[in-house]
């Protein structure tokens, strides 16, 4: 028997959100509210930055202190913007990553700023061709800096970096980073969308992952690891799923991840396009004696 869940961490893209969706469904929002009403802390754990996360959750009646684990664990804030935790990438490392990785794909860095300059890149056209929806959603925050190394002239540490492109080029980029001396000072977390031939490598401070941030959040809340659940669909969720007591993988995850989940006995949720997160939360609440109300 599992201990009752007191903390559940939920990924956004490919998990909470339907494919290409720009809002949380009514059923899922209802399940999130019900979980909070039952005393469960609902943490959103995403590769998105805070400003790209909070607008999707506002207006759904969630608690203002809902934790947002963003940038794959590098920044944790509450839904109302209250800072909780952070760990940024060193500027000197980011500077050298420009030369190492720009040839593999679109290289982006995010900073802890508001408005233009929160997202910095050097080739907007290239980014638009590869990640059109992301560019359109973040256009007001994007600043073009050429060469990208100029973004670090003031010595400000970025939250994280990101390089994206096709599946094979990103595998090559990951190998290049692992073979360099920067590997000890920067880790990469991979997210893949095979149907779109798109892969994203998030460039993180060493040891920083969704799982790392979730463990720190649980400690702050006084919640035991045995009382945790996580729901995710991609490789950047792996550390989080391995950390919690009750891991749940989405059915739309890659076949490789689904095989891994099967060997480890993880539960599987219906696909994101079938509101799998809502289904899992409804089952959880029923098991714990709570109900979902509109």
- Go through the chain and tell me how many residues it has: 294
pLDDT-above-90 percentage for the chain:
84
pTM for this predicted structure? 0.88
**For residue 12, what pLDDT is reported?**
97
**For residue 193, what pLDDT is reported?**
87
Query: Is residue 187 helix, strand or coil?
Result: strand
Backbone angles phi, psi at 85, to 5 degrees: -160, 155
**pLDDT per residue as tens digits for the range 198-246:** 999 999 999 999 999 999 999 999 999 999 999 999 999 999 999 999 9
Measure CA 36 to chain center.
21
Residues of the chain with CATH 3.40.50.1000: 7-86+208-287
**What's the CATH fold of domain 7-86+208-287?**
Rossmann fold (3.40.50)
**pLDDT per residue as tens digits for the range 67-126:** 999 999 999 999 999 999 999 999 999 999 999 999 999 999 999 888 899 999 998 888
Q: Say which CATH class 91-204 falls into.
A: alpha beta
Among left, alpha and beta (phi > 0; psi -120 to 50; other), residue 81 is left
Residues of the chain with CATH 3.30.1240.10: 91-204
Expressed in angstroms, the distance from the first to the final Cα of the chain is 29
Please give the C-alpha separations between residue 208 and each of 203, 213, 219, 249, in angstroms, as whole numbers.
Answer: 10, 7, 16, 21
């Amino acid at each position: 028997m599992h201990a009752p869940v007191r903390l559940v961490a939920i990924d956004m893209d490919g998990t909470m959100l339907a494919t290409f969706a720009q809002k949380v469904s009514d059923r899922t929002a209802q399940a999130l509210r019900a979980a909070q009403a039952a005393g469960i802390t609902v943490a959103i754990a995403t590769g998105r930055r805070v400003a790209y996360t909070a607008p999707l959750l506002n207006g759904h009646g969630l608690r203002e202190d809902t934790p947002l684990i963003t940038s794959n664990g590098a920044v944790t804030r509450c839904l109302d913007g209250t800072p909780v935790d952070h760990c940024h990438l060193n500027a000197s490392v980011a500077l050298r990553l420009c030369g190492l990785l720009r040839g593999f794909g679109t290289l982006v860095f995010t900073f802890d700023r508001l408005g233009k300059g929160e997202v910095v890149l050097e080739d907007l056209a290239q980014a638009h061709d590869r990640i059109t929806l992301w560019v359109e959603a973040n256009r007001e925050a994007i600043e073009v800096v050429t060469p990208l190394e100029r973004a670090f002239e003031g010595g400000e540490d970025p939250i994280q970096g990101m390089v994206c492109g096709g599946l094979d080029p990103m595998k090559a980029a990951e190998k290049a980073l692992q073979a360099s001396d920067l590997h000890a000072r920067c880790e990469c977390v991979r997210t893949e969308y095979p149907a779109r031939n798109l892969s994203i490598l998030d460039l993180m401070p060493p040891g920083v992952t969704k799982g790392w941030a979730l463990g720190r959040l649980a400690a702050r809340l006084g919640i035991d690891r045995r009382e945790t659940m996580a729901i995710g669909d991609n490789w950047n969720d792996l550390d989080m799923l391995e950390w919690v007591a009750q891991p749940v993988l989405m059915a739309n995850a890659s076949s490789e991840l689904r095989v891994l989940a099967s060997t480890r006995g993880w539960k599987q949720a219906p696909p994101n396009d079938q509101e799998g997160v809502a289904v899992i939360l409804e089952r959880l609440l029923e098991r714990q004696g709570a109900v979902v109300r509109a």
